Structure 1
Amino acid sequence: MTSLYDVSIPVYTDITKTTQSILKKGEEHFKSQGKDTSELVFIIVATGRKLIERVTGGSPVDTPMKEYSLSECYELLDTHLGELAKVDRASVDGRDKTEVPCKFGPEEFKASARDYVFGYPVPTAYFHLNMVYALLRGQGVPLGKKDYMAEFMKTFTKA
């Protein structure tokens, strides 16, 4: 049976690792072109931290909204992967029906933790991952579907 932990923390970890991988490829491309790369990432980490808070019932971790340099983006992503890795399955599972808050712009909502995971942080993270991917491709970074899918397919074996 798939649990709340299974559909939240590992999924968010894969999204975060994919973001790192795509950024690294973008950085390499920009360096080879002599271009600067100092603009990207905040929302994926901030939303992931809210996910951890809400599915575990833990304390919020502040993520200051500012423009991050590329090195700060890597540091933020590495830190967030560490935070995700520390989430104990037992602190999440069984909280499916726990009511949690969700703010979308100026509007505030409440949802079960399960509905929250499927309705806000996971779609938000995929949206922003897609934007990073599209922006980098639009700048000529040689990214393909394999770059996007690799982390999600890591458990696959070749037939």
Structure 2
Amino acid sequence: MPIALHSISIQMYLSAFSTLQHLLAKAQSSPTSDTLPQARLAPDMIPLSKQITKASNIAKAATYQVLGPDSRHGPAPVWADEESTLEDLIARCDKTIALLKSITPEDLEGKEDENVETVLGNGKVVRSDGKGITLGMGVPNVMFHVGIAYAILRAEGVPIGKGDYLGGFVGALNVEVPEGGVKY
């Protein structure tokens, strides 16, 4: 039985943003919490704040591209991307989650094989189907930015581990997560 597009896109994105919320909440108690939004792994990489907004924008863009211009949702909303504090970033995750929760399995039903054309950041046009946009672009890009956000927080001394990262994903599978998170 094939896995529904909603499960491999919206559910994955929701898990990713649940993980980000958890990581950012733990970061709030860090002595360096005020400087964390501008922290980066390397000088040529974008800071934590932009990792979060990129993940949000990619989840929105990939989802709305697959939905198509004629969906009941209309065009993807455009947000200002001005988050500069951990509280702002948590609020961005909340807003992204609320938007993603408005997409139902029925909204994406049958979109797996529909033609989708998208323009990448470098201006290159990519043509695929709903499954290709989701699994080839959307999910891997969101997961990249979530992973980098985790790495930035770890590098800055926030006390998080693999269980903190995986907790949002394991929880989405209706697996009971023990008190204190998942240990690996």
TM-score strictly above 0.5: yes
Identify the residue that residue 41 of structure 2 maps to in structure 1.
Answer: none
Identify the residue that residue 11 of structure 2 maps to in structure 1.
Answer: 10
Mapping 1:55-70, distance limit 5 Å: 55-57=66-68, 58-66=74-82, 68-70=84-86
Q: CA deviation at 1:48?
A: 1.1
Please state if 1:49 is matched with 2:65: no
Mapped to 2, the partners of 1:34 and 1:116 lie a distance apart of 35
Q: CA deviation at 1:23?
A: 1.1
Q: CA deviation at 1:65?
A: 4.1
Give 5+ residue unaligned stretches, structure 1: none
Q: Which SS does the other structure have where 2:131 is aligned?
A: helix
TM-score (norm 2): 0.77
Mapping 1:83-98, distance limit 5 Å: 83-98=99-114
* Contact 1:42 1:68 (C-alpha < 8 Å) held by counterparts: no
Please state if 1:78 is matched with 2:108: no
Mapped to 1, the partners of 2:176 and 2:93 lie a distance apart of 27
* Pairs aligned (count): 156
Mapping 1:5-154, distance limit 5 Å: 5-30=6-31, 35-39=34-38, 40=49, 41-57=52-68, 58-66=74-82, 68-106=84-122, 107-154=124-171
Q: After TM superposition, what 4+ stretches of structure 1 lie above 4 angstroms from structure 2?
A: none
Q: Which SS does the other structure have where 1:153 is aligned?
A: helix
Q: 1:35 to 1:128 in 2, by over 3 A?
A: same
**Which stretch shows the higher mean deviation, 12-21 or 55-64?**
55-64
Mapped to 1, the partners of 2:85 and 2:158 lie a distance apart of 18
The letter for the 2-side match of 1:24 is A
TM-score (norm 1): 0.89
Compute the RMSD of aligned alpha carbons. 1.9
Identity of aligned residues (%): 23
Q: 1:102 to 1:146 in 2, by over 3 A?
A: same
**Which stretch shows the higher mean deviation, 124-133 or 38-47?**
38-47
**Which stretch shows the higher mean deviation, 87-96 or 46-55?**
46-55
Q: 1:65 to 1:82 in 2, by over 3 A?
A: closer
**Which stretch shows the higher mean deviation, 37-46 or 111-120?**
37-46
Q: CA deviation at 1:12?
A: 0.5
Q: 1:95 to 1:78 in 2, by over 3 A?
A: same
Q: Which SS does the other structure have where 2:128 is aligned?
A: strand
